[in-house]
Amino acid sequence: MSEATNAAVGVRVDGHVLIVSIQRPQVRNAVNMAVAQGIAAAMEELDANPALHIGVLTGSGGTFCAGMDLKAFAYEGVEPAIEGRGFAGLCEAPPRKPLIAAVEGHAVAGGFEIVLACDMVVAARGASFGLPEAKRGIVASSGGLMRLPQRLSANLAMEMALLGDPISAEQAHAWGLVNRLVEPGQALAAALVLARAIDANAPLAVAASKQIVQGSRNWSDAEMFERQRPIARAVNGSADAREGAAAFAQKRVARWRGC
């Protein structure tokens, strides 16, 4: 296991899993430029390093993220966005590989938009999610208003966006926004269990499956199979595909090579 940090963001590798933690608990992990730079660098490493198959993003000190650091913005005048990646170095360009949010405490405003940029969510009981921007006279412009209707019904997404009130982790789980609901303090551990279970599958197939699930939202019925075909063909013709079939036939654990 290796570890690295830029003071605002901690990064460590556990097997094939990249664990990224926002390290500003004194301000409820609010995002400043250092956080955005740290997350952006971690996402670039996740996608570029073939030894990494999946990421987990969390916060420190019992909370996930309270959004943008408004004090830092007021004094420094710099919005914590990275060119090409957007707010928090993530919201406009999530990684190609799967990313799980492990949520304790608050995930509100930009913090909730970070969660929505992830592919799956593990949350502790007592955590809360929300887009309070309408209460402050602004718009949640880092993807929250566009991604929320992809996760919830249009009516529920509209209610959250217009009312601005937070919802509990229990409600988010009931609505299908949270994949797994766990006891307080267990979100990261449970997210790692989920990550390792996914990591047991073929990395090429996992990455391609994410690509198809996400991309197909914008594919018409007429074009969807044509759009899927080259992605699936590249994986189904791989050495890992042959290994998967052989391992099944021989009743053994597959040895994935990522090619």
In the chain, domain spans: 2-199, 203-250
Measured distance CA(208)–CA(213) in Å, rounded: 9
Whole-number pLDDT of residue 50: 92
Query: 121: buried, middle or exposed (CB in 10 Å: 19+, 13-18, 0-12)?
Result: buried
Structure tokens at 43: 């996402």
113 is catalytic: yes
Q: What percent of the chain has pLDDT over 90?
A: 90
Measured distance CA(189)–CA(176) in Å, rounded: 20
Q: Which of 133, 159, 223, 243 is catalytic?
A: 133
pLDDT band at 7 (very low <50, low <70, confident <90, very high): confident
Whole-number pLDDT of residue 1: 38
Torsion-angle region of 137 (φ positive above 0: left; ψ -120 to 50: alpha; else: beta): left
User: What is the topology classification, in CATH, of domain 203-250?
Assistant: Lyase 2-enoyl-coa Hydratase; Chain  A, domain 2 (1.10.12)
pTM of the model: 0.93
Measured distance CA(90)–CA(112) in Å, rounded: 12
Give φ, ψ of 31 to 5 degrees.
-90, 120
Q: Which of 25, 95, 7 is closest to 66 using CA atoms?
A: 25
Residue-wise pLDDT tens digits, 145-202: 999 999 999 999 999 999 999 999 999 999 999 999 999 999 999 999 999 999 999 9
pLDDT band at 224 (very low <50, low <70, confident <90, very high): very high
Q: Please name the amino acid found at residue 196.
A: R
Residue where the block lists tokens 């971690």: 42
Cross-strand partners of 18: 13, 55
Q: Which of 83, 113, 159, 243 is catalytic?
A: 113
Structure tokens at 33: 């430029």
2-199 belongs to CATH 3.90.226.10: yes
Please report which helix (H) or strand (E) contains residue 36, including its range: helix 33-48
Residue-wise pLDDT tens digits, 87-100: 999 999 999 999 99
Give φ, ψ of 41 to 5 degrees.
-65, -40
170 is catalytic: no
CB neighbours (10 Å) of residue 218?
Answer: 9
Structure tokens at 179: 């994949």
